[in-house]
Amino acid sequence: MRKLTDIFKEKQQTFSFELFPPKTEEGYQKLLSTIKQLSELKPDFISVTCGAGGGTRARTKDIVDHIQETYQITGVEHLTCIGNTKAEIKKSLDDTQARGIYNILALRGDPPPNSPAVKLGKDNFKYSYQLCKFIRATYADDFSIGVAGFPEGHVLCPDRELDADYLKIKMDAGADYVITQLFFNNKDYFDYVKRLRRRGIFARVIPGIIPITDYLGILRFCQKCGTSVPKEVQEVFAPIQTDPQAVSEAGIKFAIRQCRELLENGAPGLHFYTLNKASPVDIILKEVRK
């Protein structure tokens, strides 16, 4: 499979999806069906998350393997570093390389739920920039490395300028591109890109998009991750929040409008957080690719 950096050289805009490893075998079988449906949309790549503390790392690799081997679609493996030693990270990356996976999204990650107070020693990484630096130093250019970006600033770093400084550190440590956290106000994305450009960061900043299919669920999630819900969104969805069909239809319309505006104003593609479902991203992508 190809590295994303090579794909980026050929395509001004890419379209991609994100999946996560299910906790049950039934969920896994459903995911395989979802992957088949998503493959028919011919995405440029599909990324697969991992659990807190790398708890589902093996399953993450298996899913990326399946995507690449069955559908010849480039896969991206999410790799978190919190709670793992350098030796464990290298062992995991050696396995990744042996499987023919050449794309990593390097993340700090969250501590495991059962041991949130992870003790970090000299053999542990504390931040994602250290993971990026380690991958580059150990594997040179064997991997294409992506990192997470936060248009509204990371939830633990409310100062947006300082957050952009931290992103610069990750890029200087070897990252190739950025995929952003979800957002609903496109101005936040474009302002974020401007902040990065002022710091000499000219890598791709791919906007992360999540269609609204469950308004109350989105409110809870946004509160947790520090994403704001604009007044425009509240005015559309609050009156219909108890009507799933109405929410779904409004969510599709909102996402299509958001995506078109992003692409028309220079965004280098779209990365959809699918929640392991082919719909409604299939409808949205078909519309914005016209």
> What does the block give as tokens for 284?
């949205």
Q: What is the pLDDT of residue 54?
A: 45
Across the range 36-53, mean pLDDT stands at 89
The reply to whether 18 belongs to the active site is yes
State the amino acid at position 290 in one-letter form.
K
| 3 state SS of 22 | coil
pLDDT digits (tens, 9 = 90+) for 113-168: 555 555 667 788 889 999 999 999 999 999 999 999 999 999 888 799 999 999 99
How much is the pTM?
Answer: 0.95
Report how far apart, in Å, the C-alpha atoms of 208 and of each of 72, 149, 186, 259, 269 are. 23, 9, 11, 10, 9
Class assignment of domain 4-288? alpha beta
Considering the candidates 18, 69, 88, 249, report the single residue annotated as catalytic: 18
Region 99-104: mean pLDDT is 98
Cα 132 from Cα 79, distance rounded (Å) = 10
Whether 150 contacts 180, CB under 8 Å: yes
pLDDT for the residue numbered 114: 56
Indicate if the pLDDT at residue 31 is higher than 90: yes
227, 188 Cβ separation under 8 angstroms: no
First to last CA, the chain: 27
**Which whole number is the average pLDDT over 208-216?**
97
